[in-house]
């Protein structure tokens, strides 16, 4: 059975790119444009990995990661955080929130797929 990935990304082009790349690699993907819906979608979809944009309207990806890690149903799902605004200390803050992986945008396909595969395999 295909590994499932929830993509939480408000930018239409990035969301479509992530979906297309992951589908071409045999993953089942669930796109989510609204961070406010992300945790409910994760509970319904039960992904093997969550790819989380950090800069989103309405809610911060950091807050969502912290909420997911506090939720018994979602806690074990690894999170790959992606952000366009990678400043000094950002990666540390993102990892402190509970993300297992981190990539700065623009994301190159090679490192993106390596991070995804590494986290999905680690999750089992």
Do 79 and 52 touch, CB atoms closer than 8 A? yes
CATH number, domain at 44? 3.40.50.2300
pLDDT at 86: 67
Do 7 and 47 touch, CB atoms closer than 8 A? no
Neighbours of 76 (CB within 10 A): 10
Flag residues of the chain having pLDDT under 50.
none
**Single pTM value for the model:** 0.96
pLDDT tens sequence across 2-30: 999 999 999 999 999 999 999 999 999 99
| Number of domains comprising the chain | 1
């Amino acid at each position: 059975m295909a590994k499932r990935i929830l993509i939480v990304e408000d930018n239409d082009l990035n969301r479509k790119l992530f979906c297309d790349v992951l589908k071409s690699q045999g993953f089942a993907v669930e796109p989510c444009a609204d961070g406010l819906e992300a945790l409910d979608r994760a509970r319904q979809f039960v992904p093997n990995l969550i790819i989380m944009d950090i800069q989103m309207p309405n809610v911060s990806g950091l807050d969502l990661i912290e909420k997911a890690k506090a939720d018994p149903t979602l806690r074990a799902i690894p999170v790959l955080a992606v952000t366009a605004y990678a400043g000094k200390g950002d990666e540390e803050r993102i990892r402190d929130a509970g993300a297992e992986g981190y990539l700065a945008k623009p994301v190159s396909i090679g490192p993106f797929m390596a991070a995804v595969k590494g986290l999905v395999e680690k999750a089992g």
